[in-house]
Structure 1
Amino acid sequence: MALVELPDIKFVEDDVNKVFEELVTVFQGMTGRVLNRADPEMFVLRAFAQLFVQQRVLINQVAKGELLRYAKGVILDYLGDPETPRLQAEPALTTERFTLSIPLVTPQIIPAGTRVAPEGAEGSILFATQNAVTIPAGVTQIDVLVECTVPGIIGNGFLPGQINSLIDPLPFVASVSNQTTTTGGADTEDDDSYRERIRMAPESFSTAGPDQGYVYWAKTASAAIVDVAAVKEAPGEVTIVPLLEGGVMPTQPVLDAVTEKVNARRIRPLTDKVTVQAPEAVPYNIELTYYISRDRAAESVVIKDAVKEAVASYVLWQKSKLGRHINQSELIGRIMNAGALRVNVVSPVYTAITDLQVAQDVAINATFGGLADD
């Protein structure tokens, strides 16, 4: 939801010269004297003006902080309370496979709270089963949903096979291994995301199925969701696509949470058929050569590092929003701002993206072509 362009707001005047002039005018009116620039009273009044300005700056900050556009921290929490509370941190999830050393003639129980960890983590990061599961007799393995014991993004990004240490030994369990990359962990909702949800909250009051209403409710399913698209595919049919922070594709638990949220009786119109799915990935490669001005040869190492960061920031920007077209001009602009003289881009080329799609980088090759004349 785009913000309306509004001028900056001041509740009280905080320009020191204007405040000083006001004080001089009041003093002269009350005493009947006309002050000269060298009068001692002028120095006293200027000192008072400095003090008054400090107070007025604080008044402006506090008053602006009560407006949604400027509110931060706990003030924002009060503006959202109670209908739109801030989303709290959530743990990362993955599917863990427990494998027995031999088939058993009796069922083997994996208790709730059984902990596993990445190799070498030394107990700093743990994952645990949330429910007890049973490996049937004669079966040697079972897949269990586990979540990080510490909420937040700290548990994200462990690749399949990396969570392979069993912290709580179980009889006959020979090995454990995660089958999917850990995702879904999110820190407490930041001010910008929370402010946007509060602004969208009025859309949630409608029971007629507005697209922004579906977007609002889908975002409340998880603090890890950074963007949502709600598209009418056909009359009475709505497709909802969430995207996780950092451009990560939503896992099945996240999709299930969104599905449960948007299909609640008080949210979904009775005539709507709502489908929740992951976005379609549109792959692209980065293949480019950049040059640095010969006049800036002494800065080449710094510029190379800046270009590397610029490419990484572009990749994150490109995949952090649904329907964001693949735009090589944005890439060129970031590299030029990093200090490059010119950029020759082979790929990507401009590619239109729909609201149900998201661009995903595959291969990145940014080559330094050498020094060049301006």
Structure 2
Amino acid sequence: MSDYENFDFIDTTAKDNEITAVNKYAELTGIQLQEADPRRIIFKSVAYMLALAQEVMNDTAKQNFLRFARDNRLDAKGELYGTRGKRLGAQPARTTIEFEISAVQPVDVVIARATKISVNELVFETEEQVKVLKGNVKARVQAVCTTAGEVGNGYLPGQITNIVDLFPYYKAVTNVTETSGGTEIESDERYRERLMEVPESFSVAGPSGAYEFWAKSTSTDIIDVKALSPQPGYVDVYVWTKYGKPTEELKKHVYDVINDRELRPLTDFVNIKEPEIKEYNVELEFYIDKSNEKQATSIKNNAELAVQEWTEWQKGKLGRDINTDELIHQLKLIGVKRVNIISPVFKVINENEVAVVKDEIKVIFKGVELE
């Protein structure tokens, strides 16, 4: 979208409007209004108000295009694609729940679907019926929060222990995985990116783009997906989220969506996988010019921030090579004269891999470099 940032349908300014009005007045009356003329002030005011109206018209016209649309206008663009073009709403958190009964029973103990457990004021429901098989005392099942959004995230294993719907032989309940996957409504930026991929979904999930589109449609936590075929008839779908590797609950959710018989080709066997993480360290030295000596502290702070932002950018997409050219470019923009990057070196990252920085980040300010 950077190529279109300065694109406008209407590019006149308040000053342009004023000049046009003054010249037209002179043409009609033969009077050239001077800067101090009170009538010129009226023309300035009208020109300013007209410029504001022109800016609104310009913005409205630009929003007819997907790359500029936002808020309700962006939702309207999505309507062109029917239900698959809808913005993703808030999603509930999920976790794996373990039930325990008081003693081994001679028959299976059935725990109904939508059995409720709670923590604080939040309630989780089991997504399907589960049985404690005879001869066992425990069974696990996935549960979903009844309240959508990030509010259900972050409960560690063992923190959800309150049963709401008692059943025969009940003894205890607990979550065995951290609750995760709860998201707020899809942002404009992510929604716009996904709408650009909607045409891929018009086929069943045979093309890689179709698999990737439907996977991204399951959760706004997912920032990148790569569908690869290691051999005919098999599809590995690698999922990467803003928190890193996907949870087991999210992987199951993605699988359930993609494996729908109306989406998946009959002959495909689908696996949801985690990308392989390629770690690297960051160590660099930088110098500033003599002319920027007074801004040394500011440049140093901005350089550290630029490195952090680059590492976030680096892990934002699967298969993105470790390439410090972008980092050097950003450092130059903030006033760095010369950069000596010790680590990392350029490295090719495969499509099912992602580059993630280790904890070790060293940004060393070497001072002013004279000509």
TM-score normalised according to structure 1 size: 0.77
Which residue of 2 is the match for residue 239 of structure 1?
Answer: 236
The total of aligned residue pairs comes to: 358
1:1-374 equivalence runs, <5 A: 5-6=3-4, 8-29=6-27, 31-37=28-34, 38-81=36-79, 82-83=81-82, 84-104=85-105, 108-111=109-112, 112-117=114-119, 123-159=120-156, 161-168=157-164, 170=166, 173-206=170-203, 209-234=206-231, 237-247=234-244, 249-264=245-260, 267-268=263-264, 273=268, 275-286=270-281, 288=283, 307=304, 313-327=309-323, 348-361=344-357, 363-366=358-361, 373-374=367-368
Which string of whole-angstrom CA distances, capped at 9 and with x for unpartnered residues, describes residues 190-224 of structure 1?
11111112122223334694433332233223333
Aligned partners of 2:317, 2:26: CA distance in 1, in Å?
61
Alignment-mate amino acid for residue 353 of structure 2 = Q
Distance 1:156 1:355, change over 3 A: farther
Alignment-mate amino acid for residue 40 of structure 2 = M
Distance 1:368 1:255, change over 3 A: closer
Match of 1:5, SS state, is helix
Aligned partners of 2:259, 2:131: CA distance in 1, in Å?
31
Deviation at 1:71, TM superposition (A): 1.0
Ranges in structure 2 where 5+ consecutive residues have no aligned partner: none
Alignment-mate amino acid for residue 164 of structure 2 = D
- Report the more deviating stretch, 339-348 or 254-263: 339-348
RMSD across aligned C-alpha pairs, in angstroms? Answer: 4.0
Distance 1:33 1:18, change over 3 A: same
Any conservation in 2 of the 1:91–1:155 contact (CA below 8 Å)?
A: yes
Alignment-mate amino acid for residue 75 of structure 1 = R
Match of 1:26, SS state, is helix
Which string of whole-angstrom CA distances, capped at 9 and with x for unpartnered residues, describes residues 250-285 of structure 1?
344444444444455554556x63533213322425
Match of 1:139, SS state, is coil
Any conservation in 2 of the 1:318–1:324 contact (CA below 8 Å)?
A: yes
Alignment-mate amino acid for residue 225 of structure 1 = I
Match of 2:88, SS state, is coil
- Report the more deviating stretch, 16-25 or 200-209: 200-209
Deviation at 1:59, TM superposition (A): 1.3
Ranges in structure 1 where 5+ consecutive residues have no aligned partner: 118-122
Any conservation in 2 of the 1:11–1:60 contact (CA below 8 Å)?
A: yes
Distance 1:246 1:142, change over 3 A: same
Aligned partners of 1:127, 1:92: CA distance in 2, in Å?
9
Any conservation in 1 of the 2:115–2:165 contact (CA below 8 Å)?
A: no
- Report the more deviating stretch, 223-232 or 183-192: 223-232
Alignment-mate amino acid for residue 223 of structure 2 = V
Any conservation in 2 of the 1:290–1:366 contact (CA below 8 Å)?
A: no
Alignment-mate amino acid for residue 347 of structure 2 = T
Aligned partners of 2:65, 2:307: CA distance in 1, in Å?
36
Match of 1:8, SS state, is coil
Percent of aligned pairs sharing the same letter: 30
Distance 1:339 1:92, change over 3 A: farther
Deviation at 1:365, TM superposition (A): 2.9
Aligned partners of 1:220, 1:169: CA distance in 2, in Å?
32
Aligned partners of 1:190, 1:154: CA distance in 2, in Å?
17
Any conservation in 2 of the 1:96–1:177 contact (CA below 8 Å)?
A: yes
Any conservation in 1 of the 2:283–2:361 contact (CA below 8 Å)?
A: yes
TM-score normalised according to structure 2 size: 0.77
- Report the more deviating stretch, 90-99 or 326-335: 326-335
Deviation at 1:141, TM superposition (A): 1.0
Aligned partners of 1:130, 1:266: CA distance in 2, in Å?
22
Distance 1:284 1:337, change over 3 A: farther
Deviation at 1:91, TM superposition (A): 1.4
Aligned partners of 2:360, 2:238: CA distance in 1, in Å?
30
Which residue of 2 is the match for residue 120 of structure 1?
Answer: none
Deviation at 1:157, TM superposition (A): 4.1
Any conservation in 2 of the 1:288–1:343 contact (CA below 8 Å)?
A: no
Alignment-mate amino acid for residue 321 of structure 2 = H
- Report the more deviating stretch, 7-16 or 191-200: 7-16
